[in-house]
Homo-oligomer: A and B are copies of this chain.
Amino acid sequence: LSNELDAEIQHKIDMKTKPQGSLGRLESLAAQIARLQHTLSPCTDTAMHLVFAADHGVCEEGVSPFPQEVTAQMVLNFLQGGAAINVFCRHNNVGLKVIDAGVKTSLPEHPDLVSCPVASGTRNFAQEAAMSAGELAQCLQTGAEMVDCWAADAQVLSLGEMGIGNTTTAAAVLAALLNIPARDIVGAGTGASPEMQVHKAQVIQAALERHQTHQLSPLEILQSVGGLEIAMMTGAFLRGAALKKLLVVDGFIATSAWMVAYQLSPHIRDYTVFAHQSHEQGHQPILSQLGIVPLLTLDMRLGEGTGAIAAIPLIRLATAFLNEMASFDDAGVSQSA
């Protein structure tokens, strides 16, 4: 990203009628967005949220307290407008599309559902690779296409997910990418008991060893232990950054998809805002290792991208103050000594 406007952006921020720095993180956010849009008057009015849904073969190992059918049931709930993400997007004026990346149960046609399943869920990564190299490539491509199709005009792009078992998948991906033990990153997900969490960690650790993930590239890791929705999100994040959109990342699963993209293309970080510190226990240490503190910490762990949408009003306040506040000169206000 070009930094040629940085001094002008900072000057514009500092001349607003407020003590310097007093809008805290909204100031750095405004500067980031202005820089990536290469303008002193950035805009975040149009925001699009894409929810990718898929099933996970690793559910066979008993890693979630919810039955696998809930993935499809929740997609239907999205289409009927009754899920948290529907409420959040409606209230914050964010567009929403749901993408079937590979739900096992067949789904009805619906104007808000984009049907492009790459497979009928992943295979069980405890036994074999979650997907083939061809399936992975198709996921990455489809994720990028979803951005082109549904978020071409959006200044702000956020991604969410639905997939019973996907905290297990995300933990496997992150543990492999960052080379940390599974037990340090596994959490309760939708509400696993302590015993189930121990079991989750064992399933993941055995899979990391079976697939020899320490020898694999980020994309090979995604193929071995990833998810179809997670791989599509990786493709969507990469495409969103290429189109200079602000990427809003929320919780544990979105972070796993983002981390693959980041390892492939570190400059994606310039386009990213982390919206919410998930209550899922693995999230905080992973982000703090990168020096990232999300905007919100509301102890949420719902998924669907709800944490991302909760932060959208703050993102819009950041650009609004930069565009709309008077300067000391405009308002005839004296500056500090």
Binding site for B on A (CB under 8 A): 16-26, 65-67, 69-70, 73-74, 76-77, 80, 82-84, 86-88, 90-92, 190-191, 279, 295-303, 306, 310, 313-314, 316-317, 320-321, 324-326, 330-337
Contacts and interface: CB of A to CB of B under 8 A. Distances in A.
A90 B332 CA distance: 22
A109 to B, nearest CB: 18
A66 B336 contact: yes
A316 B66 CA distance: 29
9 contacts: A16-B84, A18-B83, A23-B300, A25-B300, A67-B334, A73-B331, A82-B324, A83-B326, A84-B321
Nearest to A293: B297
Contact of A336 (B17, B65, B86): B65
Given A24-B300, A298-B24, A332 B76 contact: yes
Given A70-B333, A317-B91, A333-B74, A83 B17 contact: yes
Contacts of A23: 84, 298, 300, 302, 306
A218 B152 CA distance: 58
A324 B65 CA distance: 25
B300 A22 contact: yes
A298 B275 CA distance: 12
Interface centre among A74, A90, A190, A300 (most CB of B within 10 A): A300
B301 A22 contact: yes
A164 to B, nearest CB: 10
A243 to B, nearest CB: 25
Contacts of A67: 334, 337
A82 B297 contact: no
A236 B134 CA distance: 65
A336 B70 CA distance: 9
A64 to B, nearest CB: 8
A181 to B, nearest CB: 25
